[in-house]
């Protein structure tokens, strides 16, 4: 009798436990990805939120860049390309510092230098003021901005950049030995639009190529005795092709 009662009680507790325990077990609930419709009624999958995906749209950290560029400068007038500047192309070097003020918008400070050789006066059919010079140095100091547009969604995407800078150019003439007049140095306004492509090699290093043009208003050369030199005004505007490296950090 006792054995029978124990057996009945045991079966009863097993039955109760089998009903209660499944309710106490916890299972991980899977939340399906939301299905969103675009403006054309097509279903789209939302992009995963990561630091990289957010940084493509928002400025999570402020970046700075230091550039070193080399290139070639080619004097010509953008308003009269057929005019002969009587000046040879010249190598040019540039240093530039910029910082990101807004997402992909950089403000910059730069300086560059080039030395241009002037053609032999005997080769000119007309009278030009530039014939009084053997060569001249051109030193630019510029403030500007650049805007980056990644061409693809990848982190290592090629970047299209356009920019505009303005400042002053310091022209330092070197007189011809046979010319008794000493031509005075002068400062002039310069405006430089530029476009280029940039490629991030690593997280902190970029390679770039760039095209730019320096617009410099024409002005007459003057001697140190404040005497204006006669002849056609010289062309100090020039286009340039640049190649360089940029170091980036935040």
Q: What is the 3-state secondary structure (H, E, C) of 55-93?
A: HCCCCCCCCEEEEEEEEEEEECCCCCCCCCCCECCEEEE
> Which pTM value belongs to this model?
0.75
Residue 116 to residues 86, 172, 177, 244: CA-CA distances in angstroms? Answer: 10, 10, 17, 21
Cα radius of gyration rounded to whole Å, the chain: 35
pLDDT score of 180 more than 90:
no
For residues 17-21, average pLDDT: 54
Q: Model confidence over 29-51: pLDDT tens digits?
A: 555 555 556 555 565 555 565 55
Q: pLDDT of 81-130, one tens digit each? A: 888 899 999 999 999 999 999 999 999 999 999 999 998 766 555 688 88
Which residues are paired to 228 by β-bridges? 222
Query: CATH code for 49-249?
Result: 2.40.160.20
Q: Domain-by-domain residue ranges, the chain?
A: 49-249
What is the rounded distance in angstroms from the CA atom of residue 80 to the CA atom of residue 68? 31
Q: How far is the C-alpha of 135 from the C-alpha of 137, rounded, in Å?
A: 7
């Amino acid at each position: 009798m006792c054995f029978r009662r124990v057996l009945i009680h045991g079966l009863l507790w097993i039955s109760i436990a089998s009903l209660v325990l499944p309710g106490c077990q916890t299972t991980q609930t899977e939340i399906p990805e939301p299905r969103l419709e675009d403006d054309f009624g097509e279903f789209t999958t939302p992009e995963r939120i990561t630091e990289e995906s957010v940084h493509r749209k928002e400025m999570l950290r402020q970046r700075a860049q230091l550039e070193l560029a080399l290139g070639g400068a080619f004097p010509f007038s953008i308003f009269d390309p057929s005019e002969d500047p009587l000046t040879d192309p010249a190598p040019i070097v540039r240093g530039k510092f910029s910082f990101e003020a807004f997402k992909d918008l950089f403000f910059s400070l730069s300086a560059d230098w080039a030395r241009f050789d002037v053609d032999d006066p005997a080769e000119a059919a007309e009278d030009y003021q530039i014939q009084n010079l053997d060569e001249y140095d051109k030193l630019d100091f510029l403030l500007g901005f650049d805007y980056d547009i990644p061409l693809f969604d990848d982190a290592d995407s090629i970047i299209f950049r356009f920019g505009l800078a303005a400042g002053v150019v310091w022209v330092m003439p070197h007189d011809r030995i046979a010319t008794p007049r000493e031509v005075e140095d002068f400062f002039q306004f310069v405006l430089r639009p530029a476009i280029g492509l940039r490629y991030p090699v690593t997280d902190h290093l970029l390679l770039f190529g760039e095209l730019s043009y320096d617009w410099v208003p024409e002005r007459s050369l003057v001697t140190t005795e404040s005497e204006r030199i006669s002849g056609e005004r010289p062309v100090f505007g020039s286009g340039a092709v640049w190649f360089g490296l940029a170091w980036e950090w935040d």
